[in-house]
């Protein structure tokens, strides 16, 4: 009898902990604006903008020096190459143009608006 009571208490505790966690407010962590004054390391990822390649001071679609086994090539600076790019630069600031483009492309910022009520239809007659 004691075993089943302990199991019930454990299960009940797990369920209530899950319910409390599910009701907790979510916190959206948003990165600061992308500017030419910020410093990023290789492969810093910003949703929509991509991966930062420090030696080239811009964001690209693939991680820095990523290898594609099918192509047998490495990706950097927006193109595929036969060998990896070797550089001692692993931190840098994006160019002003690259920072501006990344800021325009990023998707991690809530953009506001009216949600589902902005469909242009009125319920008033």
Task: Provide the strand spans (E) within 6-53.
Answer: 40-41, 45-46, 50-53
At 105 the three-state DSSP class reads: helix
Residue 19 is predicted with a pLDDT of 54
Give which of 109, 104, 110, 102 is closest to 45, Cα–Cα: 102
| Contacts of 110 by beta carbon, 8 Å cutoff, 6+ apart | 28, 30
Note the pLDDT tens digit of each residue in 1-44. 555 555 555 445 555 555 555 555 555 566 789 999 999 999 99
Residue 80 is predicted with a pLDDT of 98
Residue 99: other Cβ atoms inside 10 A: 22
| Tally of domains in the chain | 1
Question: Would 56 be classed as within a structural domain?
Answer: yes
Residue 111 is predicted with a pLDDT of 60
Question: Would 35 be classed as within a structural domain?
Answer: no
Q: What is the pTM of this model?
A: 0.65
Note the pLDDT tens digit of each residue in 71-105. 999 999 999 999 999 999 999 999 999 999 999 99
The mean pLDDT value for 42-70 works out to 97
Residue 69 domain boundaries = 40-105
Question: Would 78 be classed as within a structural domain?
Answer: yes
Structure tokens at 105: 């492309």
Chain mean position to CA 41: 15
Residue 18 is predicted with a pLDDT of 55
Question: Would 2 be classed as within a structural domain?
Answer: no
The mean pLDDT value for 92-120 works out to 79
CA torsion sign for 31, 34, 73, 55 is: negative
Question: Would 73 be classed as within a structural domain?
Answer: yes
Question: Would 76 be classed as within a structural domain?
Answer: yes
Residue 33 is predicted with a pLDDT of 92
Question: Would 94 be classed as within a structural domain?
Answer: yes
Question: Would 30 be classed as within a structural domain?
Answer: no
């Amino acid at each position: 009898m004691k075993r089943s009571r302990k199991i019930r208490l454990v299960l009940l505790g797990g369920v209530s902990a899950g319910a409390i966690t599910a009701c907790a407010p979510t916190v959206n962590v948003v990165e600061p604006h992308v500017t030419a004054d910020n410093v990023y390391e290789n492969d810093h990822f910003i949703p929509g903008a991509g991966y930062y390649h420090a030696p080239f001071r811009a964001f690209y679609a693939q991680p820095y020096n990523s290898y594609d086994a099918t192509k047998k090539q490495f990706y950097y600076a927006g193109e595929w190459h036969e060998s990896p790019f070797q550089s001692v630069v692993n931190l840098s600031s994006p160019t002003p143009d690259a920072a501006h483009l990344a800021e325009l492309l990023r998707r991690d910022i809530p953009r506001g608006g009216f949600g589902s009520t902005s469909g242009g239809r009125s319920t008033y007659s």
